[in-house]
Amino acid sequence: MHLKSILYLTTQVGLYLAMMSDYFSIPAYILLFVAFGISTGLMNFNICHDALHNAYSSNPTVNRFLGYLYDLNGTSSHIWKISHNTIHHTFTNIPGHDGDIDKAIILRLNPKDKLYPFHYYQNIYAFILYGLVAANWIIYADYALYFKEMKKGKVKLKDTLLFFSFKALNIFLLIILPILWLHYPFWIILLAYFCALMATGFSISLIFQLAHIVQNVNYVEPDETGVIHHNWAAHELMTTSNFATHNWILTQLVGGLNFQVEHHLFPSICHIHYPHIQHIVKETAQEFNLPYHENPTFFKAIASHYRMLKQLGREESSQYLIKDANAIAK
């Protein structure tokens, strides 16, 4: 894990120094920025994600400071812990509660959302929208949830200072300083920055979508009293899917997020251990007649996600919605 961290951090710093060298042509500079965006996604997968789950180290201070790398990328670790660690990991694939499947009206990612005619084409345009995810987080979503939490009185002064300081630092390092230092026109720098965000957003979105918006998982709806009767661990098995777990290279690139079942059951375990506990989780699920979802390859997972988008965009898809706890084994 430490070797991976050195590799990804060195790559990130090296790309930034190359971008600031003022040596490259405009096309090469834009490509460097895109590579920087991809590297950002890989660093988020491999270092920040574990750190923000307190899974990188047994030392909370180490986790906290490595988590600040996520803030340095322009996104908020404080908001991520709320939206991802607390909400998504607790209410996985529950329409109306899991923010990862309750998106803007333009995407229908769960069978409870209203079906509109334009959703017919979402299996095509969704992949374009995925590229806008990082920009949305940095420019809008982080602020929206931050002010929502602030109104509830749940934001401390330290969190506020860190939130705005890192947002400003990201803009300074990736936009203002290049404009002041480099010879490129300002609009080229803005274009390169946007391209980098597209690369980051697409890579992050696609990997997370392959875990929950695929054909072999379920959505769960509470009963009339708002209660879900099965236990949380069973719920995670119902609503989460692995993919390409035998692909060692992919596992190293995406920080073990292809082992989403193991991650959702044991989010505080460092991802390098997921391959070693997978057989225990799978055998235990089979022993208790619980589902264990997985797609064998990366491309089969993408194909399943594409078909799921298509189904959700063209029909009610109620067959994926579970209301009865007795249906768990199905």
Bridging pattern class, strands 241-243 and 293-295 = parallel
Distances (CA, A) of 210 to 124, 141, 181, 188, 228: 16, 22, 40, 33, 24
| pLDDT digit string, tens, across residues 122-170 | 999 999 999 999 999 999 999 999 999 998 888 899 999 999 999 999 9
What ranges in the chain are assigned the alpha helix state H?
A: 2-19, 26-43, 49-52, 60-72, 77-80, 89-90, 122-130, 133-136, 142-151, 157-171, 177-181, 186-212, 232-239, 248-253, 260-265, 274-287, 298-314
Neighbours of 105 (CB within 10 A): 10
> Which residues is 219 bridged to in the sheet?
321
Per-residue pLDDT band at 193 (split at 50, 70, 90): very high
Contact 188, 215 (CB under 8 A): no
Dist CA 181 CA 23 (whole Å): 12
pLDDT value of residue 104? 79
Dist CA 86 CA 81 (whole Å): 6
Nearest partner of 320 among 245, 177, 222, 213, judged by Cα:
213
Percent of the residues in the chain that have a pLDDT greater than 70, as a whole number: 96
Q: State the chain's mean pLDDT as an integer.
A: 93
> Which residues is 79 bridged to in the sheet?
none
Q: Which tokens sit at 210? A: 């392959």
- Residue 60 in this model has a pLDDT that exceeds 80: yes
Q: State phi, psi for 239 to the nearest 5 degrees.
A: -110, 5
Nearest partner of 114 among 103, 125, 100, judged by Cα:
103
- Residue 252 in this model has a pLDDT that exceeds 80: yes
- Residue 321 in this model has a pLDDT that exceeds 80: no
DSSP string for residues in 223-262: -TTS---S-HHHHHHHH-EEE-TT-HHHHHHTTTTT-HHH
As a whole number, mean pLDDT of residues 186-195 equals 96
Nearest partner of 140 among 107, 106, 167, judged by Cα:
167
- Residue 316 in this model has a pLDDT that exceeds 80: no
Buried b (16+ CB within 10 A) or exposed e, 50-80: bbbbbbbbeeeeebeebbebbbbbbbbbbbb
Percent of the residues in the chain that have a pLDDT greater than 90, as a whole number: 86
- Lowest-confidence segment of 61-65, 80-84, 152-156, 262-266 by average pLDDT: 152-156
